[in-house]
């Protein structure tokens, strides 16, 4: 039996979408099981015990004849799916450079660009706590900084690591292409829109729901 993959996800999450886009580009079948993070469905005792002790989605379930394994962290799940594919360069430096963008995504981009989208589009400005409101300005600045770093890098290349699409592009595309939902103005970063177009034009591309 070949491995079977199930994504434990909330369809509104860009982190989950990364994994679906990776599977789609690779032509890999991927089942899904939905949770509503707004209702705490990833914090239930059952979820914590069986799916992810960290109480977060996405989690990639990898099932074969002998075992079911649960892999959290979106970028690690993409790495697993894309192993030995063209989405991961084999050259030592190119591979490290790709991972560099994926760590950048989790540290500099997601906590700002994705969090503001979540707060402003899904939670709603009127429902934010005082503490969340106090963080908006800092997250706005840090998110703009992250988009600027990408914009500079995309000045003279088609994709973040060169001529070919890699997991770095998938990881950063997920929340960048919906950054306007977090109040970011992508028109301020002229190299980003053509890069988004290139990704949307890839064979087997699937849009976010």
What are the residues binding its own copies (CB under 8 A)? 53-54, 62, 69, 71-77, 79-80, 83, 92-93, 95-97, 99-100, 102-104, 106-108, 110-111, 130-131, 134-135, 138, 145, 149, 152-153
Number of residues in the chain: 209
Give the chain's end-to-end CA distance (angstroms, integer).
Answer: 30
- Smallest separation, CB 187 to its own copies (Å): 21
Comparison of 92 and 201: residue with beta carbon closer to its own copies:
92
Per-residue exposure over 154-165, b if at least 16 CB sit within 10 Å of its own CB, e if not: beeeebbbeeeb
- The dihedral built from the CA positions of residue 189, 194, 195 and 199, taken in this order, carries a sign that is positive
What are 191's two structure tokens? 């190299």
What are 23's two structure tokens? 């599977």
Comparison of 17 and 104: residue with beta carbon closer to its own copies:
104
- Smallest separation, CB 191 to its own copies (Å): 13
Q: How far apart are CA 150 and CA 207, in angstroms?
A: 21
Q: How far apart are CA 120 and CA 173, in angstroms?
A: 19
Comparison of 48 and 205: residue with beta carbon closer to its own copies:
48
DSSP state of 164: S
Comparison of 107 and 205: residue with beta carbon closer to its own copies:
107
- Smallest separation, CB 194 to its own copies (Å): 19
Q: 3-state class of 85 per DSSP?
A: coil
- Smallest separation, CB 200 to its own copies (Å): 25
Comparison of 65 and 203: residue with beta carbon closer to its own copies:
65
- The dihedral built from the CA positions of residue 153, 81, 182 and 180, taken in this order, carries a sign that is positive
Q: Which of 61, 51, 62 is nearest to 2 (CA)?
A: 62
- Smallest separation, CB 99 to its own copies (Å): 4
- Smallest separation, CB 161 to its own copies (Å): 12
Comparison of 65 and 92: residue with beta carbon closer to its own copies:
92
């Amino acid at each position: 039996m070949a491995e079977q993959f199930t994504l434990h996800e909330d369809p509104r999450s860009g982190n989950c979408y990364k994994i679906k886009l990776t599977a789609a580009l690779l032509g890999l079948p991927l089942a899904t099981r939905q949770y509503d993070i707004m209702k705490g469905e990833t914090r239930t005792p059952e979820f914590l015990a069986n799916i992810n002790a960290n109480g977060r989605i996405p989690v990639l379930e990898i099932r074969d004849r002998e075992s079911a394994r649960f892999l959290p962290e979106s970028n690690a799940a993409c790495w697993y799916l894309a192993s030995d594919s063209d989405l991961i360069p084999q050259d030592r430096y190119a591979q490290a450079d790709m991972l560099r963008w994926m760590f950048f995504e989790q540290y500099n981009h997601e906590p700002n660009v994705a969090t503001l989208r979540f707060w402003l589009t899904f939670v709603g400005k009127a429902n934010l706590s005082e503490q969340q409101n106090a963080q908006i300005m800092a997250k706005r600045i840090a998110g703009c900084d992250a988009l600027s770093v990408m914009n500079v890098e995309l000045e003279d290349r088609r994709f973040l690591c060169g001529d070919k699409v890699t997991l770095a592009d998938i990881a950063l595309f997920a929340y960048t292409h919906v950054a306007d939902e977090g109040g970011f103005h992508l028109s301020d970063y002229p190299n980003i829109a053509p890069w988004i177009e290139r990704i949307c034009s890839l064979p087997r591309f699937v849009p976010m729901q």
